Structure 1
Amino acid sequence: MIQNIELKWLYDVLTLEKHRNFTLAADLRHVSQSSLSRRIQTLEKSLGFHIFDRQTSPLQLTEEGKLFILNVRNLLSDFEYNIEKIKGTSDLRSKIKIASAHSLSGHLFPKILKNLKNYTDKTFYVEAIDVNQTVDYLKNGTCDFIMSFYDPSLMNSNFLCHQLFSAKLYLVTGTDTSGFPKFSLEDESFPFMSYTDESYMGKQVNQFLQTQQTHHFDTNFVSSMSTLLKDMIKHGYGVGWLPNYSIQEELKHQTLSILPLKNAVLPVEIYLYRHNTRLNIELENFWNFIKLIDWDIE
């Protein structure tokens, strides 16, 4: 049986996890570095496992520590929320932390808030970051959910996932003032606005390019951000693949045009991921709400 765990030790752990530095964490917790270290060690002894790997620099969580941090964050968030509720605090808001791939955040969250009737009762902390970072955030317990693309490393019993929708990547070009494409399939070579090789979109596109023989794609601009690539393509600097959910208005107003290269429409799948562990009631409600949304992607 776990005994004598003090609440302040849990806040110590969260502070140290956030900053990964004993000196800084001790200052923020208003204790000496040696006191903070002893408190963490006492907590670990009571738990029966190490939370931090002290042999690494910067400080890293152990695998047990990652799950522990997630549960501690949920526990304290739920505890604080219910205490404020008991006190009758006005303007009480639950907190939801989400990491999202850059290209998804601007499309998904307006629709989420549009469908969420009581969104003013919540505060959303949203980080729009690289796809690989979102996965790391989830695995390290830094956020409650991530909105990202299909990732095989998350398809196991440690995580839960819900497919939000399927989308497509289209090869597009900017247009001139008359709405005519600046590049066409009559061109044997294209200046190419490319995703980074390690990005999800980049891997999808590179897989296609390995089998593409009819045209040459001359890479002269690389970014992991599809919004930046879209701006470059719209301004006529080259062609590139963009997700259909991000170019609907541009296609409607003919500021972008699809190049009908054979087999160049690439499928992508978008998911909501979380840890397979109990979340607080507000987070569980959000999870269930998201699963009811009809995203209606064309």
Structure 2
Amino acid sequence: MEIRWLEDFIALARTRHFSRAADEQHVSQPTFSRRIRLLEEEMGATLINRQTLPLSLTAEGEAFLALCEKTTEGVRLTRERIRDISAGHERRISVAAPQSLLAHFFPDWLAINGLEGRMQPDLRATGWAAADYFKALNRGECDLALCYWPLARCDLELDTRTCRYRTVGHERLIAVSAPTSAGTPCFTLPASREAPVPWFAYPRLGLLGAALHTHLARLPEAPGLAVKNQDLYVTSIKELVMLGYGIGWLPERAIRQALYANTLVRAGDTRWDVPLALRLYRHQHHHHAELDTIWNALPQASPPP
């Protein structure tokens, strides 16, 4: 079985037409049809339903298509890596991470571990939802994923079975408010259900949202909160809180200077703080020399005091 046969099958699944698929693959239709027949003989199953117009895939064909797409993408990425090695280029590790970690953790972490110049952020990932990081790792679109992770047990709809992780740091979400002219918070916790505090939330299916909702649910005293808006971006929530529109739970690293300058103040005591781990994930089956070298040398972060 040849890789180009798998590419033929992908083209046929996309066009649902033998002649158009053959044209895309720059071969004659008889040659193309013969390759598809050879694929079916090799797999021992009928992959194409030729009785429908347009053509359709059988159940076996749908399963085989998923294999074709995964295999051809793996070959494409490997070819790129081999070209880089042949050209003498040191491969830089791509890291997917949310914007707040790229701004307030990643540069210092690189410096501490002597990794400057060996890693580069994947800037497409700054607005990804939690599941997108693990899909990208599975597809080989990034080498590593750096993310916040709840310390408390949460029901997360994430499939991480193909990944491994290292804990590389710790963080906590702090409930903050803009200050009054007297330096006290404009909004305080807890609040009553009759007079709830306006709140800028994270999506509940995200890692920060899941951690926060789980923490609040376990507190004996439920806060009175009224969601004003939901946002994936820490920076967006921070700006709205600083403008005095409500409270938000923000990573301590992202607001350290604002707390020191008193442009943000705590909206409640430390019982409202949400502990987090900072995890670095990789796919357990994706290997190359630079990634394996860096991964094996990474220290595990000590537990927070």
Aligned match of 1:232 in 240, 262, 270? Answer: 240
Pairs aligned (count): 269
Normalising by structure 2, report the TM-score: 0.69
Preserved contact between residue 174 and residue 274 of structure 2 (Cα < 8 Å) = yes
Q: Does 1:79 align with 2:82?
A: yes
Q: Deviations over 1:64-89 (max 9, x none)?
A: 4576367435522331122112xxxx
Which is higher, the Rg of structure 1 or of structure 2?
A: 2
Paired residue secondary structure (2:140): coil
Aligned match of 1:270 in 262, 265, 278? Answer: 278
Q: Quick one: percent identity of the two aligned structures?
A: 19
Q: Deviations over 1:86-123 (max 9, x none)?
A: xxxxxx34243322134322223312443465744665
Rounded Cα–Cα distance in structure 2 between residues aligned with 1:203 and 1:105: 21
Paired residue secondary structure (1:255): coil
Tell me which moved more, 114-123 or 74-83: 114-123
Q: Deviations over 1:28-52 (max 9, x none)?
A: xxx9425499599699779969xxx
Specify the alignment match of 2:122 in structure 1. Answer: 125
Q: Deviations over 1:118-175 (max 9, x none)?
A: 744665534312222212222333222211234684553x222111122211111122
Q: Deviations over 1:225-266 (max 9, x none)?
A: 222111111111101211222222222222211233473221
Extract unaligned runs of 5+ from structure 2: 16-21, 45-55, 150-155
Specify the alignment match of 2:266 in structure 1. Answer: 258
Specify the alignment match of 1:160 in structure 2. Answer: 164
Taking structure 1 as reference, are residues 173 and 134 closer, same or farther at Cα in structure 2, changes over 3 Å only? same
Aligned match of 1:205 in 202, 205, 212? Answer: 212
Paired residue secondary structure (2:277): strand
More strand per residue: 1 or 2? 1
Preserved contact between residue 69 and residue 141 of structure 1 (Cα < 8 Å) = no
Preserved contact between residue 174 and residue 273 of structure 2 (Cα < 8 Å) = yes
Paired residue secondary structure (2:78): helix
Rounded Cα–Cα distance in structure 1 between residues aligned with 2:87 and 2:80: 11
How far off its partner does 1:204 sit? Answer: 2.0
Specify the alignment match of 2:200 in structure 1. Answer: 193
Preserved contact between residue 176 and residue 267 of structure 2 (Cα < 8 Å) = yes
Rounded Cα–Cα distance in structure 1 between residues aligned with 2:136 and 2:106: 19
Taking structure 1 as reference, are residues 240 and 35 closer, same or farther at Cα in structure 2, changes over 3 Å only? same
Rounded Cα–Cα distance in structure 2 between residues aligned with 1:104 and 1:43: 50
Rounded Cα–Cα distance in structure 2 between residues aligned with 1:93 and 1:124: 16
Specify the alignment match of 1:220 in structure 2. Answer: 228
Taking structure 1 as reference, are residues 47 and 132 closer, same or farther at Cα in structure 2, changes over 3 Å only? farther
Aligned match of 2:111 in 103, 111, 114? Answer: 114
Preserved contact between residue 191 and residue 225 of structure 2 (Cα < 8 Å) = no
Q: Deviations over 1:179-238 (max 9, x none)?
A: 432223485431111111222211222223445545411111211222211111111110
Rounded Cα–Cα distance in structure 1 between residues aligned with 2:105 and 2:65: 33
Taking structure 1 as reference, are residues 218 and 123 closer, same or farther at Cα in structure 2, changes over 3 Å only? closer
Give the superposed CA RMSD: 4.3
Q: 1:246 is matched by which residue type in structure 2? A: A
Taking structure 1 as reference, are residues 116 and 214 closer, same or farther at Cα in structure 2, changes over 3 Å only? closer
Rounded Cα–Cα distance in structure 2 between residues aligned with 1:99 and 1:259: 31
Rounded Cα–Cα distance in structure 2 between residues aligned with 1:47 and 1:286: 40
Extract unaligned runs of 5+ from structure 1: 24-30, 86-91
Paired residue secondary structure (1:160): strand
How far off its partner does 1:286 sit? Answer: 3.3
Preserved contact between residue 67 and residue 141 of structure 1 (Cα < 8 Å) = no
Q: Does 1:184 align with 2:188?
A: yes
Q: 1:84 is matched by which residue type in structure 2? A: A
Taking structure 1 as reference, are residues 288 and 178 closer, same or farther at Cα in structure 2, changes over 3 Å only? farther
Rounded Cα–Cα distance in structure 2 between residues aligned with 1:42 and 1:96: 41
Rounded Cα–Cα distance in structure 2 between residues aligned with 1:202 and 1:243: 12
